[in-house]
Each structure stands twice: as structure tokens, then as C-alpha cells.
Amino acid sequence: MAADIAIRARDVTLRLGTAEAPTEILKGIDLEVTQGTSVAILGPSGSGKSSLMAILSGLEQASGGTVSVAGVAYADLDEDGLALARRGRIGIVLQAFHLLPTMTALENVAVPMELAGAADAFARAEAELRAVGLGHRLGHYPVQLSGGEQQRVAIARAVAPRPNIVFADEPTGNLDGATSGAVIDLLFTRQRDAGATLLIITHDPVLAQRCDRTLEMRDGRIVSDTAA
Ligand SMILES: Nc1ncnc2c1ncn2[C@@H]1O[C@H](COP(=O)(O)OP(=O)(O)OP(=O)(O)O)[C@@H](O)[C@H]1O
């Protein structure tokens, strides 16, 4: 039996800017990712990595082409449908962490799980925050946390619901070597435990080497696709 395909993109394009001066950000992306694999996306700044991730994670709509994730075709869904499809199945860590400023670190991780119906949301959130080394910062608000600490809260929030697919845009960008190593270990441990698919944008060759597969983007296209 063929392995499950977690992510399928066909001829995905993204055009932004004005009608008079459109910019082609993505120029026909074809991609299939097998469930349970880890994929690093490399490429120079501006090559379209974050844009591709935004489309694959359902946060942005493609201008052309089709995307289906975990068997769900995005074209069939409206905003609410997309949000529902993401909930619990897809974890996302963006470059801007999007923590809610009025909630503590613990609440930022626990409340989304609680809204999704998890009975043990706070216990799981606490365990996940301890795993990223933030057991001593549970009651801190985002403004009281350093950039690297906020990044770790965002990672804990993404992995805590045990999603099938985790998208992470430079998840270690703000972390020092030791903390970065611990966070990467956590991401890969969770991936293995849950058989999850992991898509990571990174400039870090060490992180890329740990992935099963490496894609390189240039100027809106995937220019190389290498298995480890
Ligand atoms: N709303 C927009 N209108 C026009 N161009 C945009 C818009 N948003 C992004 N771009 C352009 O799209 C290109 C791709 O951006 P993207 O953030 O996907 O690149 P990236 O490879 O993730 O870069 P980085 O490594 O710097 O994060 C960039 O040249 C950017 O300037």
C-alpha cells in the first residue's frame, strides 16, 4: 500500500502586489510529503519559503493550483472550515510568535487546547512548557518574556495538541545553541512519538541535516529536493 500523503501541492502559484504591478512570489510549486517524514526548507531570504508555508498551512490562499493536507482539499473550505480543519491536526510556529498578550505563557498553550475540548489542557500545557525549559515562566505574560522564551512558548503551543503536521518557520532563529538543541530534540521527539509530519524552514544546516528530506527554494521555485 502506498504511504499516506500528508501534504500535496500541485502547480501552486502566489501573486501579490497590485494588478498593475503584480509580483510572482511562487511560480508553480509541486510537492508531495509522506506522513511521518521531516522536511527542511532552505533557501535565500525572499525566495518564498514563508509564503509556501503560509499556503500549505492554510493561512494564505494560493493564486493558482491546488493544495490538500491530510486528505482535505483547501479549495473546498471557507475560512471557518479551514480553521476547523487545522484545529488539533496542524501545529504552526511562525516567525512572529502571535502569543496573546493578555494571557500567561501557560494560558497561551492551554486555552486553545481547552477550546478544542481537551480535558487535561492545563496539565499538558505545563508539561510541554517544562519540556522547552520554561517551567519557571508559566505565569509570565509575553511582554515579560525574552524573544527566545516567547519562541519556546509558541513551539510548546504548536506541539501540545499532538498535531499530525507541524509547520515551523525558523523555530530556532532566536535561540542560543544549547536551547536550540533542546527545542529541536523536542520537535523531533514529538514527531517520532506521534508519527507526525514536520516541515521546518531553517537557515541552520545542522537542523536541516536531521530532517529526512531537504528542499531548496530559489526565486519562487523548488530547485532541489534531496533525501537524507
Ligand atoms: N504582500 C506582499 N506584496 C508583495 N510582495 C510580498 C508580499 N509579501 C511578501 N512579499 C515578497 O515575497 C517574497 C517571498 O517572501 P517570503 O517571506 O516567502 O520569503 P522567505 O524565503 O521566507 O524569506 P526569509 O528567509 O527572509 O524569511 C519576498 O520577496 C517578499 O518581499
Q: How do residues 129-145 score in pLDDT, each as one tens digit?
A: 999 999 999 999 999 99
Query: Would you place residue 80 in the very low, low, confident or very high pLDDT band (cuts 50, 70, 90)?
Result: confident
Distance CA 188, CA 192 (A): 6
What phi and psi values does residue 26 have, to the nearest 5 degrees? -120, 135
Whole-number mean pLDDT of the chain?
91
47 lines ligand 1 (CB under 6 A): yes
Contact predicate 176/102, CB 8 Å: no
Compute, in angstroms, the gap from residue 34 CA to the centroid of ligand 1.
Answer: 26
Answer yes or no: are the C-beta atoms of 156 and 134 closer than 8 Å: yes
Specify the pTM: 0.90
Ligand 1 atom closest to Cα of 203? Answer: 25
The whole-number pLDDT of residue 141 equals: 97
Q: Which residue CA neighbors atom 26 of ligand 1 most closely? A: 45
Going from the Cα of 48 to the center of ligand 1, the distance in angstroms, rounded, reads 6
Compute the distance from residue 123 Cα to the ligand 1 centre, in Å. Answer: 38
